[in-house]
C-alpha cells in the first residue's frame, strides 16, 4: 500500500466530521480539524474531552463511528495502524521491555526493512542524547530517559505525522520544561507534523504554534496560543487557558462610533472593545486576565480610560518570585485574581488592605452572558 | 552429611552444639526454620527413595536364586544391558512427549491468550474459563483416559469423520496407535501448559501491542516480536510441566496404545518392577530417565535464557 511509504515530510492531517461513540457515550462529537503540513499542533483539554480518542483514531488504534481521517490528502479512515505513516509517542511510553534501547528504536525500521537500521537508530538516539545507553533495557532507564527513547523510536521512522499523547505527563516539572524545549528543537530539525495531546495549558501554549481547545468531544476554539489567550471566545477557553476573572454585566450603550461597548457591571460602567465581544445579546460576561489588573491603594488614582472596579479587600497575598498573586474580594462582585509583577518599588498589599482594581479598557473582553462563569476552571479532582 | 546435622543446620545455633562454630550471618535463623518441614519431607520421600533406587540399579541376581531374588552389588552392566534392550522405548517416550508438548503448546497458547488477553476486564468470564481448564482434574485421570479410548474407537464419530474427510483411509483407525497415545498425553497435560501461559500472558500490556501496530508491525509480526517473547517464561514453564511428566507417563500408552509399537518407558519400568520382578533393570531405566530429563531440561532452560527475560 502506498500510504506505507512514509518519509513524506510533514503531511497535512484532515479530520472531517469525525464522531466516535463508545456505547451511548459520545467521546468525539462531529469533529472537523485541519492540521497544516509541518505544524506543531496541540489538542488541549481536560481529561475525558476526547483528545486522546481523536489521536487514537488518527493513529489507527480506534475506528471512527462516522467521518473520515485523511493524511496528505489520502483517506486513511479504514487503514490499519501498521499501514499508516504515523508514529506515536505513548503516554506510558510502551517501550518493549524485552528489547534493548537500540532495538526498541530500530523496531519500526526493521518492520519496514529499511537500510542501515543500526546506523539510523543510533543517529536517532544521538538526537535524544542517549547513545551511551543503547544497550540497556528500558527498565534500567529513568522516566525521562524512557520518554526520550519513546521519542527516538517514533522520530527515527520519519513519519509524515508524529502523535504525542501526553508524553511529558509522567515527568517532573523541571524535566518537563527541558523536554518541551527539546521537542520543539527536534520538530524544527526534522520538519515532521506534530500533533500533541495535553491537558497542560502551559505546555500547549509554549510548544504548539496552533492550539485547539477541546471540551466534551468538540473543539471550543482554535488558534495561535497568544490569540487564544487574548481573545477567548468561550468561558471554557477563558478559564482553561490561563485564568480569567469573569463577571456578569449588561451592555447598555455603544461608544466611540461603535468600537466600544459600555457595560454595566453591578452599577459600575466598564468599557469593552466591540472587537473583543462575542455576545449577541445584552447579557455578557465581562472578562479580564489577572496580570492585566493593577491594584490601587487608597491614595492612588486610575489612569484616564481605565476600567475601575471596587473597592475590595485583599484576602490573600502569595509571593511567587516573579510575581505576587492576590485574591481580592470585590464588594458585591466576588473574588478576583490579580498578578502583580515584582518590579522594583512595587507596593505590596497585605491581606486586609482595601484596594480598587484598574486595568486598561482595551484588555477587557466580553463573552456570551448565558455561559457558566466557572466553565473550564481547573478542578483538582479532575486531573489524572 | 548425616541426617542429624542436616536437621540441625537450618536452626543455626544447634550447629555449635555439634561442636562447630555457628556460621557467620546466621542471624535470621527464624526464617530458615520454615524450610525444615519441606526439607524433612523431601529427605524421607525423595532423597531416600532415590538413593534406594540408585542402589537397586546395581543389584545382581543371586546365583541359583528364585525369580526376583537379588543381592546388593555394584553390577554396572545393568545399565548397558537395560539400554541395549529398551532404547527404542526410551527414545519413543521422548518422541511422544515432545510431540504431545508441541501439540499442547499449539492448542494451549490460543486458549491461554483468549483467557488472559481477550477476556481481560471481565473477571467473571475469566474465572469461569480458568475453572474449565482445571475442571478435568475433578475426575479421575484413569477415567478420563478410558473416555478417550471410547472417543477414538474404530466405530466412533471421530474416526468416522476423519475417514469421511479422507484424513484416514477407509480402514484407518486411531485406537491402539501412536497418534492415540500422543493425543491422550496432550489432553492429560494440557492444563499444565495453559496455566503458566495464562499467568505470563495475563501480565502482557496491551499497549505494547498497540505500539507494535504503530511501528508498522502486522498483527502476526507483533505476535512474533512482542507477544511471544514476552510470554517466553510461560512457554518455558508450560513446556517443562508438560514434557517432564509426559516422558514418564505409562497410563496413556497402556490404555490408548498397543503393546508393541507404542510402548513407552514408563510401561517398561512398570512391567519390569511388577511383572517380571527384574528390579535392577527397572531401577536402571528409571535412573536413565531421570538423568536424561535433567540434562535435557538444563540444556533447554539454558538455551531459552529465562533469566534474560523480564
Distance (Å, whole) CA B292 – CA B91: 11
pLDDT digits (tens, 9 = 90+) for A214-270: 999 999 999 999 999 999 999 999 999 888 999 999 999 888 888 899 999 988 899
- For residue A250, the enclosing domain spans 243-372
Helix, strand, coil % in chain B, rounded to nearest 5: 75, 0, 25
pLDDT digits (tens, 9 = 90+) for A123-173: 999 988 899 999 999 999 998 899 999 999 999 998 989 999 988 877 788
User: pTM, whole model, 2 decimals?
Assistant: 0.80
In this structure, the answer to whether residues A247 and A214 fall within a common structural domain is: no
pLDDT, residue A83, reads 93
In this structure, the answer to whether residues A24 and A60 fall within a common structural domain is: yes
Q: What is the mean pLDDT of residues B174-203?
A: 94
Q: What is the ipTM of this complex?
A: 0.83
In order of start, what are the domains of chain B with their CATH numbers?
3-56 (no CATH), 80-308 (1.10.3720.10)
The answer as to whether A382 is a domain residue is no
pLDDT, residue A379, reads 55
The answer as to whether A291 is a domain residue is yes
Q: What is the mean pLDDT of residues A298-307?
A: 78
Number of domains in chain A: 2
Q: Are B99 and B79 in contact (CB under 8 A)?
A: no
CATH of the domain at A335: 2.40.50.140
pLDDT, residue A315, reads 94
Name the grid cell of B113.
491468550
pLDDT, residue A1, reads 34
Q: Which residue has the cell 526454620?
A: B33
Say if A155 is an interface residue toward chain B (CB within 8 Å).
no
pLDDT, residue A383, reads 42
CATH of the domain at A35: 3.40.50.300
**Partner-chain residue, chosen from B215, B219, B226, that has the shortest CB–CB distance to A108:** B215
Of A137, A20, A151, A13, the C-alpha closest to A90 is A151
Q: How confident is the model at residue B4 (pLDDT cuts 50, 70, 90)?
A: very low
Name the grid cell of B95.
518422541
Q: What's the DSSP call for residue A347? A: P
**Which residues in chain B have Cβ-Cβ distances shorter than 8 Å to A94?**
205, 207-208, 210-211
**CA dihedral for A144, A147, A149, A151, sign (positive or negative):** negative
Say if A22 is an interface residue toward chain B (CB within 8 Å).
no
Q: What is the mean pLDDT of residues B168-182?
A: 89
Q: Who has greater pLDDT, A4 or A140?
A: A140
Helices and strands in chain A, H and E counts: 8, 20
In this structure, the answer to whether residues A356 and A326 fall within a common structural domain is: yes
pLDDT digits (tens, 9 = 90+) for B19-73: 455 455 445 567 888 999 999 999 999 999 999 999 999 999 988 888 888 999 9
Distance (Å, whole) CA B10 – CA A375: 68
Residue in chain B nearest A82 by alpha carbon: B216
In this structure, the answer to whether residues A39 and A167 fall within a common structural domain is: yes
In this structure, the answer to whether residues A152 and A291 fall within a common structural domain is: no
The answer as to whether A208 is a domain residue is yes
pLDDT, residue A4, reads 36
In this structure, the answer to whether residues A62 and A204 fall within a common structural domain is: yes
Domain limit, last residue, from A186, A204, A230: A230
pLDDT, residue B305, reads 66
The answer as to whether A252 is a domain residue is yes
Q: What percent of chain B has pLDDT over 70?
A: 89
CB pair distance less than 8 Å for B217 and A97: no
Domain limit, last residue, from A230, A260, A292: A230
In this structure, the answer to whether residues A74 and A14 fall within a common structural domain is: yes
Instruction: Please give, rounded to a whole number of angstroms, the shortest distance from the CA of A178 to a CA of chain B.
Output: 25
pLDDT, residue B60, reads 92
In this structure, the answer to whether residues A61 and A127 fall within a common structural domain is: yes
pLDDT digits (tens, 9 = 90+) for A174-229: 888 888 888 888 888 888 899 999 998 888 998 899 999 999 999 999 999 999 99
- Which residues, in sequence order, are bridge partners of residue A269? A264
CB pair distance less than 8 Å for A86 and B214: yes
In this structure, the answer to whether residues A223 and A247 fall within a common structural domain is: no
Distance (Å, whole) CA A92 – CA B89: 54
Q: Who has greater pLDDT, B210 or A370?
A: B210
The answer as to whether A70 is a domain residue is yes
In this structure, the answer to whether residues A213 and A298 fall within a common structural domain is: no
Pair type for strands A40-44 and A193-198:
parallel
**Which residues in chain A have Cβ-Cβ distances shorter than 8 Å to B310?**
97-98, 137, 139
pLDDT, residue A321, reads 85
Q: What is the mean pLDDT of residues A308-315?
A: 90
In this structure, the answer to whether residues A252 and A192 fall within a common structural domain is: no
pLDDT, residue B24, reads 52
Domain limit, last residue, from A175, A204, A230: A230
Average pLDDT score, chain B: 87
Q: Is the peptide bond before A140 cis (omega within 30 degrees of 0)?
A: no
In this structure, the answer to whether residues A354 and A272 fall within a common structural domain is: yes
Amino acid at each position: 500500500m502506498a500510504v506505507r511509504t512514509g518519509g513524506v515530510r510533514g503531511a497535512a492531517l484532515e479530520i472531517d466530521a469525525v464522531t466516535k461513540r463508545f456505547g451511548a457515550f459520545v467521546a468525539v462529537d462531529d469533529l472537523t480539524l485541519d492540521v497544516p503540513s509541518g505544524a506543531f499542533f496541540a489538542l488541549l483539554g481536560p481529561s475525558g474531552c476526547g483528545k486522546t480518542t481523536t489521536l487514537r483514531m488518527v493513529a489507527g488504534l480506534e475506528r471512527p463511528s462516522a467521518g473520515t481521517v485523511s493524511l496528505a490528502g489520502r483517506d486513511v479512515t479504514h487503514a490499519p495502524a501498521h499501514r499508516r505513516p504515523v508514529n506515536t509517542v505513548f503516554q506510558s511510553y510502551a517501550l518493549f521491555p524485552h528489547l534493548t534501547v537500540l532495538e526498541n528504536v530500530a523496531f519500526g525500521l526493521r518492520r519496514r526493512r529499511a537500510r542501515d537500521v543500526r546506523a539510523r537508530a543510533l543517529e536517532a538516539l544521538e538526537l535524544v542524547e542517549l547513545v551511551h545507553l543503547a544497550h540497556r533495557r528500558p527498565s534500567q532507564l529513568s522516566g525521562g530517559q524512557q520518554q526520550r527513547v519513546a521519542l527516538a523510536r517514533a522520530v527515527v521512522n520519519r513519519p509524515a505525522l508524529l502523535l504525542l499523547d501526553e508524553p511529558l505527563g509522567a515527568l517532573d516539572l523541571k524535566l518537563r520544561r527541558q523536554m518541551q524545549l527539546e521537542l520543539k528543537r527536534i520538530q524544527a530539525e526534522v520538519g515532521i507534523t506534530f500533533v500533541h495531546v495535553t491537558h497542560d495549558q502551559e505546555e500547549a501554549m509554549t510548544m504548539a504554534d496552533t492550539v485547539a481547545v477541546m471540551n466534551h468531544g468538540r473543539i471550543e476554539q482554535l488558534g495561535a496560543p497568544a490569540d487564544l489567550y487574548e481573545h477567548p471566545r468561550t468561558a471554557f477557553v477563558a478559564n482553561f487557558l490561563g485564568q480569567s476573572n469573569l463577571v456578569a454585566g449588561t451592555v447598555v450603550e455603544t461608544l466611540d462610533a461603535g468600537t466600544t461597548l459600555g457595560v454595566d457591571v453591578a452599577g459600575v460602567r466598564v468599557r469593552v472593545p466591540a472587537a473583543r465581544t462575542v455576545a449577541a445579546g445584552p447579557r455578557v460576561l465581562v472578562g479580564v486576565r489577572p496580570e492585566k489588573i493593577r491594584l490601587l491603594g487608597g491614595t492612588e488614582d486610575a489612569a484616564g480610560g481605565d476600567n475601575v472596579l471596587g473597592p475590595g479587600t485583599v484576602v490573600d497575598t502569595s509571593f511567587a518570585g516573579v510575581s505576587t498573586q492576590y485574591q481580592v474580594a470585590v464588594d458585591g462582585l466576588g473574588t478576583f485574581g490579580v498578578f502583580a509583577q515584582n518590579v522594583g518599588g512595587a507596593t505590596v498589599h497585605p491581606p486586609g488592605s482595601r484596594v480598587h482594581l484598574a486595568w486598561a479598557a482595551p484588555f477587557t473582553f466580553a463573552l456570551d452572558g448565558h455561559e457558566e462563569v466557572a466553565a473550564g476552571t481547573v478542578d483538582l479532582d479532575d486531573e489524572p | 552429611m548425616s541426617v542429624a546435622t542436616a536437621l540441625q543446620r537450618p536452626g543455626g545455633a544447634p550447629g555449635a552444639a555439634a561442636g562447630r562454630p555457628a556460621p557467620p550471618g546466621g542471624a535470621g535463623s527464624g526464617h530458615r526454620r520454615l524450610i525444615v518441614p519441606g526439607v524433612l519431607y523431601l529427605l524421607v520421600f525423595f532423597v531416600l527413595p532415590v538413593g534406594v533406587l540408585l542402589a537397586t540399579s546395581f543389584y545382581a541376581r543371586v546365583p541359583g536364586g528364585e525369580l526376583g531374588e537379588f543381592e546388593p552389588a555394584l553390577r554396572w552392566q545393568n545399565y548397558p544391558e537395560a539400554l541395549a534392550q529398551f532404547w527404542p522405548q526410551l527414545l519413543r517416550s521422548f518422541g511422544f512427549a515432545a510431540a504431545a508438548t508441541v501439540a499442547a503448546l499449539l492448542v494451549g497458547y490460543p486458549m491461554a491468550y483468549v483467557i488472559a488477553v481477550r477476556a481481560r476486564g471481565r473477571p467473571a468470564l475469566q474465572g469461569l474459563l480458568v475453572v474449565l481448564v482445571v475442571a478435568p482434574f475433578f475426575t479421575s485421570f484413569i477415567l478420563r483416559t478410558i473416555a478417550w479410548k471410547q472417543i477414538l474407537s474404530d466405530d466412533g464419530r471421530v474416526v468416522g469423520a476423519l475417514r469421511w474427510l479422507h484424513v484416514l483411509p477407509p480402514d484407518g483407525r486411531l485406537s491402539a496407535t501412536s497418534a492415540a497415545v500422543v493425543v491422550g498425553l496432550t489432553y492429560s497435560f494440557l492444563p499444565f501448559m495453559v496455566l503458566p501461559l495464562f499467568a505470563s500472558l495475563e501480565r502482557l500490556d496491551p499497549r505494547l501491542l498497540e505500539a507494535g501496530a504503530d511501528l508498522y508491525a502486522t498483527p502476526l509480526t507483533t505476535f512474533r516480536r512482542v507477544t511471544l517473547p514476552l510470554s517466553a517464561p510461560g512457554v518455558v514453564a508450560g513446556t517443562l510441566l508438560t514434557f517432564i511428566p509426559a516422558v514418564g507417563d505409562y497410563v496413556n500408552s497402556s490404555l490408548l496404545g498397543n503393546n508393541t509399537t507404542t510402548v513407552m518407558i514408563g510401561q517398561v519400568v512398570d512391567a519390569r518392577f511388577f511383572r517380571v520382578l527384574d528390579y535392577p533393570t527397572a531401577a536402571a531405566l528409571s535412573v536413565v530417565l531421570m538423568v536424561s530429563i535433567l540434562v535435557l531440561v538444563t540444556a533447554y532452560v539454558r538455551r531459552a535464557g529465562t533469566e534474560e527475560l523480564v
